[in-house]
Structure 1
Amino acid sequence: MRLLHLFILLLLLTGFQSPDENDEVTIIIETEDSSSLLAEQIESRIPRLEIVAQYDTIFNGLAVKGTAQELEKLARMDMVVNQYPVVKYKSLQQEMGTFSTQVIRDQYNPSYTGKGVKVGVIDTGVDYSHPDLQKNYKGGFDTVDFDNDPMETRGEGSTMHGSHVAGVIAADGKMKGIAPDAELYAYRALGPGGIGSSVQVIAALEEAVKERMDVINLSLGNDVNGPDWPTTHAVNRAVELGVTVIVAAGNSGPDTWTVGSPATSSKAITVGASALPSKAPVFGIPGEDRQIPVQVLLGSEPWELSRKYPLLDAGRGEEDLNHASGKIVLFERGEIPFQEKAFKAYQAGAAGVVIYNNEPGLFQGSLENLSIPIPVAAVSKKDGEWLIQQGVQQNQWLETTEISLDHRMAPFSSRGPVTNTWELKPDVVAPGVNILSTVPGGYAALQGTSMAAPHVAGLASLLKEAYPDWSPQQIKRAMMSSADILEKDKLPYSPTEQGTGFIDIEESFNPTLLIEPGSLAFGRIDQPLVNKKAELKLTNPTNESQTVHLEVPVRENGSRWDLPTTVQLEPNETKEVEVGLHLTKSFLKAGVHQGFIKLRNQDHDFHVPYLYMIGTSDYEKVSGLELSSKWAEARRYTYRFHLTDSVDKITVDLYRAGTMLSHGKLFELEDPKPGMVQGEFKVNTNHLEGAYIAVFTLEYEDQKESYPFPVTFTSS
């Protein structure tokens, strides 16, 4: 593969960009034939184009750079079957602070350490000079700068994410990773600020597969809940070629249908995040029944304030602070940096700072090495507004208490299932809250499914050392068969939250029963009466015979299960068990139905998640909108989006953002088919410069649904 030069990002998922004819941009082109032959044709027929990257292992195609006018000529080449704009990916992280890897290591006898196993970390790079990573770092590649130096970004836009992930997998120094003797290879696909592109991610996968990694960790993703995105296909292909690929589920929970590509890969091991038992500070207002988790910013002092403090609403911090002495200053995120807000409050005599988000959800943040001797915490927009209403406006004081937390799912962890395939995701969960690990210059605690995934990558490394001949499918089977169900209030979290449960390292080495597949997806039910069948393959890997007992799931009105009550397995014997599910649609409510089939032998309980869907559910039927101008004609635009269901008609209307004044129809589709929908339309952008909302209206079965997408037009 040739990697010749740093290429640029072309298109954000949420907007247009219209390059001039002489502007150079990069696109990915796909071919069903040899990518080398296509490269030769381009070099001979369109010599002004620069081939940035060539893919021939998990994806046939090229990344090509050139002017819009030259790139337009590619569409006339017979070998070109598709063109992709470059999509941004981002590392999935949130910050907090505590420690985890030693807790996990203490749960098993570390007779295996990952020795001789090659692990590729596709991320922001790795600080290979860190004393805990030096020993195990063996090399890698940088698909951002196209060289052999995958160091973390330094200076403006500096990163730490990849080093943190690498430490969880294989740190060997003051900190011990899950597999402290594994060989670390870094593939820098995410550049300054933790941002990268589909070109860079696929190129990194290509390099890692060619260099024969045993395990690859991908703690990155986007928000497309569908199986058809190019990176998802690339991950599936990597697994088919013998690599165990671990992917973070994403941080868009607790809503369902939030797992994004490439975590939607059916062949990868998708990992959600849980929190280990701990004690944690929470905010409250006296007399109010609400507790808000305290999330300190990276670089902050720990939140150890124990008495009650008055609150001061300081807006976004642009004005001078008055009367802040001895108070907790409440800021809204935005306008000025976190450290400037915190320093203002400290100078004004504040006891602490709370910054609330200016958009839904939590956020990540740091004080950027500025030492401030008061604690600085972050809360969500919803929680911040509640503190203003119940604290500031009611003249109530803020109190901090400590609570004991059980082993639980992290609320930010993305949930399944996956649209179109209706598969269950995640597959397993691992620690992802308050994970202390290596970063440039020392150690830091972060949280996110990005931190959960490397725990599983470390376990995969241990299993590969113990069983060198195991395939990725066998490693995945051992993990899912041995996982432990997580419960809340004595009831299990749902399969779409936890998959088969929390990884059990010790049990995965010596499972007493292996179950394949790890979960059962019966699909979507549209007929009045349906009989579904699935096969469970049960393997007894021990030297003793065993009896496996199966329990019928809790019966819903309108459903009936057929499965044997017992299965006898001789030593090392495998048997296929038929599971029948009979459904009467009229008796069942619409939406997702899920649960567990329980199995039991003389040693353990096992749980096989299942899922089926009656009719439809609350997933987004349109996602992943990409819009870009045609390379040689600024008024012509291409579109690409993911459609989950067949509909009769799609109409896309344009409205001015803010005023919502109509600017007409962009395009209309009759009977579009599910999957990736592509096409083009004409628009006069000279009169449309600025921010707009593209509203998709879907019509089907006498119903209408609308989905808004922010877009931006730039005049040519």
Structure 2
Amino acid sequence: MKVITKILLCFFFTTIFFSVHIKAIEEEQSIIIEVEGDPHKHRQYIEDYHPLIEVVQVYDTIFTGIALKGKASNLERMGSLHFVKKSYPVRTYQTNINRSVPFLTETDDIDTEQMKFTGKGVKVGVIDTGVDYSHPDLSANYKGGYDLVDLDDDPMETLPEQGEPTLHGTHVSGIIAASGNMKGIAPEADLYGYRALGPGGRGTSIQVIAAIEKAVKDGMDVINMSLGNTVNGPDWPTSIAVNHAVDRGVSIVIANGNSGPANWTVGSPATSPKAVSVGASTPPMKIPFLEDSFEDKRIELAPLAGSKPWDLEKEYPLIDGGLGEEELPNARGKVVIMERGIVPFSEKARKAAEAGANALIIYNNEEGILQGSLDDSQGPIDIPVAAVGKKDGQWLMDHVTEGEYWIDTTYQNIQDKIADFSSRGPVTTNWNIKPEIVAPGAAIVSTVPGGYRELQGTSMASPHVAGGLALVKQAHPDWKPEQLKGALLTTALPLKNGKGLYNPIDQGMGRMQPQAAIDTETIIYNPMLAFGKIDKLKDSQTVDVKIENVSKETKTYHFELPQNTHGLSWQLPKSFTLEPGDKKNVSIQLSVISNMMDKGLHQGWITLKAKDTSYQLPYLFINREADYPKAMGLEFALKTFSKEEYEYRIYLPEEAKSVTIDLYDPHSLVFQKTLVTLEDTEAGVIEGTLKKRNITENGEFIANVEVKTTEDKTYNYQTVLSIE
């Protein structure tokens, strides 16, 4: 009998699976199919021989497919057509003005023309949950869009009567182009909404890809995608679609993900080499801390999104509120602490507020960062609510149970701190540095249906950069995506963490500075120096960098030799001069003696100088091996148009000797069965089918994926898998 130990289970994460199936009920539905051959000819065939099916859209740019509407029984027949190809992996995509806008756009330089650029005439598409185009701060700039969920021209956010309502796309849109009570980064940009994520903010790969194609055909200059999955690979279908769109002249900005601070957590499509992938930093903020001077203890508080600001100015007694299930008769004039679990955050907060508490602290019941928000649909919650981690929460609880315990609040002003939740790179397979740039993503207030709301995440950082690109595009309308991206990265501000610069995989080139990008005199087109994986005892890798002088003066450039590191040596270009408008490719060579250095991830910075200006170029390489995930993104669902076969997909960053997928009971951890066994697999997307008659299990399981590498090392990855 096989059993997974609880130690192993500490590392599994939950993914929600969302598959497109045809329900056996006679109601009109919308689907998108991928086809082989000329989709326009196939459209004619469907219209001639299947008149009860409505062809809504034909896709022939980013991918080849057709959008259809019809009753379920008629749509099922599409699966038997010879030109219908298997669908893309139906991976779930979720939705990974205020102080941040003036922080990014204002400067002390009185000679600047920063107010000249507002994004006017630049078309920005938002691929998300839709947009509330009736919002008074968005209505003037909204120019249209498309709904890839319902296949119509109305990309409104999901309404309550349609399912779990959404607001994410409206919040993102406001950061980019709000123009009313609040001002976005580019308040005069033309705003377009593409609803690729439906109720609850969920959608499929094929909807996202179709939305990219529609936005490209509609002539967008910039596309923002504050969405993603957990697959850390550059060749997932959505990442490839993004590359094709950039090749067609569209700048695409993508949120890096909210699975930090661990490394290797960036997900597709932010893994696309041609996208601008964005991590989250903090705008100017006043951070509250709980402080016990006698114990020399200081605990940072993380206010929940939508909470009233934490504004306590003196000591208060701290009391135990349990899980928030019981009444709190002794809470008046005190701070309540509750454990996360069972009762929703908003209900906990209301119970504490109704009992007269001054504030509420919620501590996590598992390791990691607690992120949450308050639902004010039942009325505002008029006390501050903040979160702390499990370890800090248990420390506070230990003191509360010992007797009366008082706690004070102190404050610290911060800015330009990398948010813990921001996903880190690098990307597997090609080892690229991600994110490439950061922008404010913490405590961001923006538009939502019916008003305004504070949210946080790289979803909020990404639209800051999309808006910044709109400003640069307005200033330089002839620049292509490669130049726009290069200008933004070249002029980013490298951020410091108190000990020096944050690591490249934390911040990329640094925090966006749109005015500096507009005024830049130099563009470094590929400043992220990814030297790949070192497998030999002695190895040399070379990265080529293209540099352009976009000023009106002759410029001389030179590299500073990095600090000596044991086992590492550099060959850098000699000083060179560029006339105005000239470009030059230069080669940077890294030589490594692998047994003289630690195994794993190595990263740092190289300095390029042009007179009084310095540019910090991040570099990265893997010495022999690293702790990157060896398998990701397991999916298992009924095959589209089939009731007799299941299909599975999984992503492997490298080839493997064997892959085994075992199912375990989620409660007892007892082995149930082996689902799949594969031998000698290639890197990339691995997929196959299983007959339904061979799958007798039903319900929810823990799937353990065991990967045996070509070096005979074994790795395990766990996720939740549902079989229906």
Normalising by structure 1, report the TM-score: 0.90
SS in 1 for 2:86: strand
Give the gaps of 5 or more residues in structure 1.
1-11
**1:578-618 superposed Cα distances (whole Å, 9 cap, x missing partner):** 21122222222221211122111113110222211122211
Give the gaps of 5 or more residues in structure 2.
1-13
- Distance in 2, Cα, partners of 1:435 & 1:224: 27
2:316 is matched with 309
Segment of structure 1 superposing worse, 563-572 or 251-260: 563-572
SS in 2 for 1:83: coil
Which of the numbers 191, 194, 214 marks the counterpart of 2:198? 191
SS in 1 for 2:532: strand
- Distance in 1, Cα, partners of 2:143 & 2:20: 42
**Alpha-carbon distance change, 171 to 336 in structure 1, aligned in 2, over 3 angstroms:** same
Give, as a single letter, the amino acid of the residue that structure 2 aligns with 1:650.
V
Are 2:177 and 2:187, in contact at CA under 8 Å, matched by a contact in 1? Answer: yes
- Distance in 2, Cα, partners of 1:113 & 1:67: 46
- Distance in 2, Cα, partners of 1:67 & 1:693: 35
2:488 is matched with 479
Q: Which runs of structure 2 are paired with 1:15-54 in the superposition (5 Å)?
A: 22=24, 29-40=33-44, 54=58
Residue 162 (structure 1) aligned with residue 172 (structure 2): no
**Alpha-carbon distance change, 390 to 229 in structure 1, aligned in 2, over 3 angstroms:** farther
Which of the numbers 680, 690, 695 marks the counterpart of 2:699? 690
2:11 is matched with none
Q: Which runs of structure 2 are paired with 1:143-182 in the superposition (5 Å)?
A: 143-155=148-160, 157-182=164-189
- Distance in 2, Cα, partners of 1:125 & 1:636: 33
1:656 is matched with 665
Give, as a single letter, the amino acid of the residue that structure 2 aligns with 1:506.
Q
Normalising by structure 2, report the TM-score: 0.89
**1:212-257 superposed Cα distances (whole Å, 9 cap, x missing partner):** 0111111111111112222212211111111111111111111111
- Distance in 1, Cα, partners of 2:389 & 2:327: 24
- Distance in 2, Cα, partners of 1:293 & 1:190: 34
1:362 is matched with 370
Give, as a single letter, the amino acid of the residue that structure 2 aligns with 1:249.
N
Which of the numbers 252, 256, 259 marks the counterpart of 1:249? 256
1:259 is matched with 266
- Distance in 2, Cα, partners of 1:45 & 1:385: 67
**Alpha-carbon distance change, 564 to 437 in structure 1, aligned in 2, over 3 angstroms:** same
- Distance in 1, Cα, partners of 2:223 & 2:541: 35
- Distance in 1, Cα, partners of 2:144 & 2:118: 20
Q: How far is 1:78 from its partner?
A: 5.3
- Distance in 1, Cα, partners of 2:75 & 2:591: 54
Give, as a single letter, the amino acid of the residue that structure 1 aligns with 2:40.
S
SS in 2 for 1:444: strand
Residue 422 (structure 1) aligned with residue 412 (structure 2): no
Segment of structure 1 superposing worse, 176-185 or 97-106: 97-106
Give, as a single letter, the amino acid of the residue that structure 1 aligns with 2:361.
V
Which of the numbers 606, 617, 630 marks the counterpart of 1:608? 617
Segment of structure 1 superposing worse, 387-396 or 295-304: 387-396
Q: Which runs of structure 2 are paired with 1:613-624 in the superposition (5 Å)?
A: 613-624=622-633
**1:436-481 superposed Cα distances (whole Å, 9 cap, x missing partner):** 3223333333221111111111111111111111111110011111
Give, as a single letter, the amino acid of the residue that structure 2 aligns with 1:639.
Y
- Distance in 1, Cα, partners of 2:512 & 2:198: 31
Q: How far is 1:154 from its partner?
A: 3.8
**1:76-122 superposed Cα distances (whole Å, 9 cap, x missing partner):** 76544432353322112xxxx96221222212522211111111112
Which of the numbers 413, 438, 444 marks the counterpart of 1:404? 413
Which of the numbers 555, 564, 585 marks the counterpart of 1:576? 585
**Alpha-carbon distance change, 554 to 29 in structure 1, aligned in 2, over 3 angstroms:** farther
- Distance in 2, Cα, partners of 1:385 & 1:155: 38
Segment of structure 1 superposing worse, 178-187 or 322-331: 322-331
Which of the numbers 41, 58, 64 marks the counterpart of 2:62? 58
- Distance in 1, Cα, partners of 2:202 & 2:679: 36
Are 1:636 and 1:682, in contact at CA under 8 Å, matched by a contact in 2? Answer: yes
- Distance in 2, Cα, partners of 1:175 & 1:442: 11
2:346 is matched with 339
SS in 2 for 1:84: coil
Q: How far is 1:161 from its partner?
A: 2.2
2:538 is matched with 529
Segment of structure 1 superposing worse, 168-177 or 421-430: 168-177
Are 2:56 and 2:151, in contact at CA under 8 Å, matched by a contact in 1? Answer: no
Are 2:119 and 2:188, in contact at CA under 8 Å, matched by a contact in 1? Answer: yes
Q: CA RMSD in A?
A: 2.9
2:146 is matched with 141
SS in 1 for 2:702: strand
- Distance in 1, Cα, partners of 2:565 & 2:137: 53
Are 1:18 and 1:634, in contact at CA under 8 Å, matched by a contact in 2? Answer: no
- Distance in 2, Cα, partners of 1:191 & 1:16: 11
**1:295-346 superposed Cα distances (whole Å, 9 cap, x missing partner):** 3334433211122223333332222333323322222334333333222222
Q: How far is 1:682 from its partner?
A: 4.3
Residue identity over aligned pairs, in percent, reads 46
